[in-house]
Structure 1
Amino acid sequence: MIGTLNRVVEHIDDHLTDDIDIAALATGLGTTEYHVRRMFSSLAGMPLSEYIRRRRMTVAAADLLGDDGMLDIAVRYGYGSTEAFTRAFRAVHGVGPSDVRRTGGPLRSQPQLRFRLTVEGNTPMDTRLTDRPAFRLVGHSTRVPLVHRGANPHIQAFIAGLPAPEHERLKALSSAEPAGLLQVSADVDPDYTEGTDLIYLHGVAIGADTAAPDDLDVIEVPAGQWAVFRVTGAYPDALQDAWAATATDWFPSNPWRLRPGPSIVAVLDRAADFRTATCELWLPVERG
């Protein structure tokens, strides 16, 4: 995967003035756009789309010091107007293109990224692979913003707003793996951009042919393979660290890649105050 990401970066730099088709590029490299975007975001700390914008604006800054017209430069980098180009340029550099033409800066350059695999792996990952038939996720869902670190206050407020007997009712409905009450994230932005909306479902898994109560939301999950990571420690920090480690340690060294689908957290055991917990993180995968 590290080599694939480096080839993606090289392709981007060679085609900064073109319409870059990440889906076609990923297919040509023997992987999927979904996996490329998720791995890039996890390892680079920024969405792939943001990296492309920063690289374009970095190179465009040099063009501004030449004789080409502003509109010509804007169109060259995929913008239909000088206004749109100015907004993108200012978002990266903090100053407008006209300021750069007048004073030469200041500029914030985005260097070309290089991904390297560092040998760490000093913490073994307790992982199992399982092939599951189709199932349904049923429960109560809402849309919340993505939060990378710490507890998500929007999710906390949503769960706190559910009547206490509802949790026991949901537990009683559980009839398929993953067992028990589940924390489900679906419809997540492929670039995994913090602050973007996702569907959060508080519920359980039932068989694909099992009827769901009319008052519950349903996510249909097709048959497929899953990587299941068992995590014990401070909650939610240990879980979020394990999530990050799947990108930095596990996927680069295993012949699997993410496939579209919900990610699921099953809480197996927890302290009374929920400061520590043992969880399973279920990620949908396929052979790379």
Structure 2
Amino acid sequence: MDWLQRMNRAIDYLEDNLENHIDYEQISRIALCSIYQFQRMFSFVLEIPLSEYIRRRRLTLAAFDLKNRNNKVIDIALKYGYETPESFSRAFQNLHGLTPTLARNAGSQLKAYPRISFQIILKGVVGMNYRIEKRDAFQVFGLEDIYNYDNIANEQGVSIPEVWQNIGKNGEFDRLRQSVVGDWWSEGNFSKELGAVLAYDSYKFTNNTTFPYLIGCYKSENSKVSGYTIIDVPASTWAVFSTLSDGTGSGNDDLRSLKNRIFSEWLPTSKFNMIDGGNFEMYCTDNDGYEYCELWYRIEEKQIG
């Protein structure tokens, strides 16, 4: 079963269970990947979280049900997973812009979000540059926190971009950068263009709705790691993509569009599957002083047959 079939069968399961409890473990079994990987692929391709898609689809169907005045609001609320009419009403108004009661009126303006399907669109205009690297196990260290997949924020409500801003202001970024001692590029067999501070995420399972994220550095022999979390990176094969990968050297691929292309263009047609165990964002500067980012994903070759 290929990537498209697996993803579309997972969508079939979601659609068949919009009126029931959705079992994330069942999605994982259908898609033949972890639920985190499924959510990652889903959000990068469609640019909305999986939970938001489910919410929109349920509230689209709820709007249809409201047109039948024999359906009670409380019954519709319970049908689509809301414990009270009040919570249903708030969610409904946030999406549709009016209350469930007003939605019953003739001529009321409502939003409808159709079901999606995954397809390969043959673009063929811009090539994707990537490389495959095999690396032995190594370690990274740094500042670790757990983030919610829906809003990409930690328990305190601070988003990942805000965390980066905060450590830049409070000096923690500089302290991290200075914690790597010596010629760590040669020790770790990294390009000299790689900056000292990197991001590493999804290297362990937390739960179905959260993921770990570490802002840190490669752990060299003399790194000053006191007070930091140390993470083991397993020996792996990596697919490496760059924001310079538009083929022109202009570096105008932003991270969002690059991730979208990786999951919608490269992954479905490649001979590799992405696997769990961590992904890197490596921040680099080329010889001309241009800053760019590399995305590193753990992969394995697809099994034939």
TM-score range, shorter chain: 0.7 to 0.9
Residue type of the alignment partner of 1:19 = H
1:229 alignment partner, one of 212, 232, 241: 241
1:246 alignment partner, one of 242, 258, 262: 262
Give the C-alpha shift of residue 259 in structure 1.
2.1
Change (3 A) 1:156 1:237: farther
Partner-residue secondary structure (3-state), 2:299: strand
2 CA distance for matches of 1:157 and 1:235? Answer: 26
Give the C-alpha shift of residue 211 in structure 1.
7.4
- RMSD over aligned Cα, in angstroms? 3.6
Q: Percent identity?
A: 28
Change (3 A) 1:206 1:252: farther
Match of 2:123 in 1: 120
In the TM superposition, what whole-angstrom CA distance separates every residue of 1:248-268 from its partner, at most 9, and x where no partner exists? 211111131242423231415
2:49 alignment partner, one of 34, 39, 47: 47
2 CA distance for matches of 1:62 and 1:164? Answer: 55
Match of 2:199 in 1: 184
2:281 alignment partner, one of 264, 267, 274: 264
Equivalent residues of 1:138, 1:206 under 8 A apart:
no
2 CA distance for matches of 1:85 and 1:39? Answer: 28
Segment drifting more, 170-179 vs 132-141: 170-179
Partner-residue secondary structure (3-state), 1:259: strand
In the TM superposition, what whole-angstrom CA distance separates every residue of 1:208-242 from its partner, at most 9, and x where no partner exists? xx875314443332333321124435567445543
- 1:95 matched to 2:103? The reply is no
User: What is the TM-score when the length of structure 2 is the normalising length?
Assistant: 0.74
Change (3 A) 1:38 1:74: same
Aligned length: 276
Match of 1:167 in 2: 177
Change (3 A) 1:146 1:49: closer
Partner-residue secondary structure (3-state), 2:6: helix
Segment drifting more, 28-37 vs 165-174: 165-174
2 CA distance for matches of 1:163 and 1:30? Answer: 38
Equivalent residues of 1:178, 1:205 under 8 A apart:
no
2 CA distance for matches of 1:103 and 1:185? Answer: 52
Segment drifting more, 112-121 vs 40-49: 112-121
Give the C-alpha shift of residue 165 in structure 1.
7.7
2 CA distance for matches of 1:266 and 1:177? Answer: 16
1 CA distance for matches of 2:59 and 2:175? Answer: 54
Match of 2:164 in 1: 155
2 CA distance for matches of 1:32 and 1:165? Answer: 35
Residue type of the alignment partner of 1:219 = I
Partner-residue secondary structure (3-state), 2:12: helix
Change (3 A) 1:240 1:163: closer
Match of 1:219 in 2: 231
Give the C-alpha shift of residue 171 in structure 1.
5.4
Residue type of the alignment partner of 1:78 = G
In the TM superposition, what whole-angstrom CA distance separates every residue of 1:7-35 from its partner, at most 9, and x where no partner exists? 22222222211111233133134333222
Segment drifting more, 243-252 vs 43-52: 243-252
Match of 1:277 in 2: 291
**Which runs of no fewer than 5 residues in structure 1 stay unpaired?**
none
1 CA distance for matches of 2:14 and 2:135? Answer: 37
Equivalent residues of 1:224, 1:284 under 8 A apart:
yes
Change (3 A) 1:17 1:185: same
Residue type of the alignment partner of 1:116 = Q
Change (3 A) 1:153 1:15: closer
Change (3 A) 1:43 1:279: closer
